[in-house]
Amino acid sequence: METYVIEPVFRNLAIINVILGGLGLVFISSLFSKNKDSKHVQWTVITSLVSSTCFFISAIFSTSAITYTYYYNSTSVYHMAREIPEAISAVFYFPSVTIFFIGFLFLSGSIGLYGWVFSRKVGIASSIAAIALFVTSLIMAIVTFLYFNFTQFK
């Protein structure tokens, strides 16, 4: 993987992570206006907090990869500069994407639980949406990991 391919990938992943982490924090703040003693509210707050934490950790991994890529490209000799970005990508990409998908799964769980705070009908609808989101993200994670395991890091 060339340097010019790695940097935009990590930059976009970091931006997406920060936006989704903020979305999880918005869920938490909106739930504080509801009944705090409800078990649905407590579990929704917990899953939103875990998803936000995962997104922000993944953003840190992505930002670190960008930083290391720029550092090695500016200080390394030419023949090493081609090998370093591949090593950086191999080290930072897997944890960043793994934590991203864990956060995405917890976000889908909090979306599913969020509807139960209001009523049974909204809870059923939000649970169906969360299951669809969960299955889609799981398929996306499997395809992503298979693609990068078989094509990029051999």
> What confidence tens digit (pLDDT) does each residue in 93-151 have?
778 778 888 888 888 888 888 888 888 898 899 999 999 988 888 888 788 777 766 55
Q: What is the chain's mean pLDDT, rounded?
A: 75
Q: What span, in angstroms and rounded, lies between the C-alpha atoms of 103 and 100?
A: 5
User: 105 vs 30, which has greater pLDDT?
Assistant: 105
Residue 32 DSSP class: T
| All structural domains of the chain with their residue ranges | 3-151
What's the rounded mean pLDDT across residues 15-22?
Answer: 81
The reported pTM is 0.68
Identify the residue whose tokens are 């298979």: 146
